[in-house]
Structure 1
Amino acid sequence: MQFALGDVHTLGGTSAGKALHLADLGVATTLHALLGADPDGDHVRAALGRAGVLLESYNSERTERHANLMTPAGERVSLYLATPSPATADTIDRVEAALAAAELAVVDLSEVGAAIVERRLAGAAGAPIWTDLHDYDGAATFHEPFLRAADVVFMNDDATDDAWALMQSCLDRGPRLAVCTLGTRGAIALGADGSRASVPAEPADVVDTNGAGDAFFAGFLAASLSGAEVDGCLAAGARQAVTALSSEHLHPAVAAR
């Protein structure tokens, strides 16, 4: 038996984390998500709205919920308590149409995301896809279509002893750029042309590590949209990660709710 040192009930989810930080950085962003007509869905809508995130929600029988068990060092086990009901074909069509009209599409690992990337691999047109593979080990089959459909891929080094080799294996499947976060050791990037870049982690008073990777992704993406080179994008990602690390929420804007 273990006793928790504390707990917090807050907005979660990798897509919400990215959208919150992109909105904070002034990037015009719309989050597409399956939400239930339930109290949790109402809380999600309210928190995103207060933080200035534009939301396009689609009906689900329930809202996704999970419990993260954290160690003081930031290690995490995520237990899914509820997952959205399967999206209808009409929902997939609407999401795909929205992404086709966007400048860039961030497609996260999910059943809806899987349907989108499968259509892309089958020849559907659309905006360049950036995707976050999280703790990808180089072999997981669920990640494979996301990887092959993506222009840029992000990951962390939790499941590898050789981040450079992992990134190269990703690039061999088609992306032009791979980025890997290394926790307190910073982050690295590898281009399809063989170019390498790295950045140290920014100093931070760590309150909670949840959402730091999403904040890094958003900082990197915002800098890229502004025309920064890879080195500058890595530095911007590292700076934005501090915003998440310094809050018990995905972004401090959520605390107001």
Structure 2
Amino acid sequence: MPTPSSVAVCGPASWNHLIVLDHLPEPVPHMQFARRSWQTIGGTSAGKALHLAGLGVNVRLCTPLGTDDDGQRVRGALTAAGVAVDSFSSEQTERHVNLMTEHGQRVSLYVATPSTPSEHDLSVATAAVAAADVAVVDLSELGALLLQRVDGSTPVWVDLHDYDGSSDFHEPFLRAATTVFMSDDSTKDPWELMRSCLARGPRLAVCTRGAQGAIALDASGNRYQIAAVPADVVDTNGAGDAFMAGFLASSLHGKTVQDSLKAAVMQARIAIGSEHLHPLLAEALPAP
């Protein structure tokens, strides 16, 4: 029996307070009543790790966490959900308050941010990347510092999120990647955005388009696309992370780009149907 593929995911995990409103607040003093609110795990790297674990992938998450109550909640729930966690020492755990609407609009308020990773932490993350079949390096201070150390022997997948094609911060992530993901939120021409990304080194670019589904472009110029699938939307947080995890897990099984797009949209459907990044958290998190 072949050895299961392993993935190292390096980047943020957080504790989030999610608040759903009728509309996002206007910049004037006023009062609103929340439709609903809850607390749960957040962070783009946590989301990817949870979905990879749910798909049976051997995944290790490298992320900064504090020894505070938030960090203990995050660490315990991720471990209970099947994610191996290398938690790096931080003065505080990353924490967000997300103001959202039922239509998917969102404002994320960063209440607490993690400490800069130590040299020891970076060495641990570098070793995790070297030992993995694929590394997911997310946009973060940890990711930026880690990319200065990796030697390129492990394929690097990067989620560029709402990349506009010109951000200096994204550039080292883009140039280190073999595969990149992004949304079309900041572009009018996603095909051109993907083409410009591939010109800097990656072999495959994938772009999510919300209700329009997703598209992909490889270095040979081949185009791929898939329609979105109907879903009962509970919470859109983490949909892109689930999409990327579904695509990656499918690729690790040798599937084609088109088949992996299909797996990705089905995995995103799982995320948006839950109040958590993954339904696994409903059981892994302690009762409020």
TM bin, normalised by shorter chain, reads: over 0.9
2:132 partner SS: coil
Match of 2:100 among 58, 70, 74: 70
Check if 1:28 corresponds to 2:58. yes
- How far is the alpha carbon of 1:119 from its aligned partner? 2.9
- How far is the alpha carbon of 1:205 from its aligned partner? 0.3
- Structure 1 residue aligned with 2:213: 186
Structure with greater proportional strand content: 2
- Structure 2 residue aligned with 1:4: 34
Check if 1:42 corresponds to 2:87. no
Where in structure 2 are the equivalents of 1:1-257 lying within 5 Å? 1=30, 2-120=32-150, 124-256=151-283, 257=285
Counterpart contact for 1:101–1:126, Cα < 8 Å: no
What amino acid is aligned across from residue 82 of structure 1 in structure 2? A
1:10 partner SS: strand
State, as a whole percentage, how many aligned pairs show the same letter.
60
2:133 partner SS: coil
Distance in 2 between residues matched to 1:170 and 1:75, nearest whole Å: 27
2:98 partner SS: strand
- Structure 1 residue aligned with 2:27: none
In structure 1, the gaps of 5 or more residues are: none
TM-score (norm 1): 0.97
Alpha-carbon deviations, 1:12-68, whole Å to 9, x = none?
000000000000000110111110000000000111122111111111111001111
Structural RMSD (CA): 0.9
- How far is the alpha carbon of 1:125 from its aligned partner? 4.1
Alpha-carbon deviations, 1:217-253, whole Å to 9, x = none?
0000000000000000000000000110100110111
TM-score (norm 2): 0.87
What amino acid is aligned across from residue 185 of structure 1 in structure 2? Q
In structure 2, the gaps of 5 or more residues are: 1-29
Distance in 2 between residues matched to 1:49 and 1:235, nearest whole Å: 28
Report the number of matched residues: 254
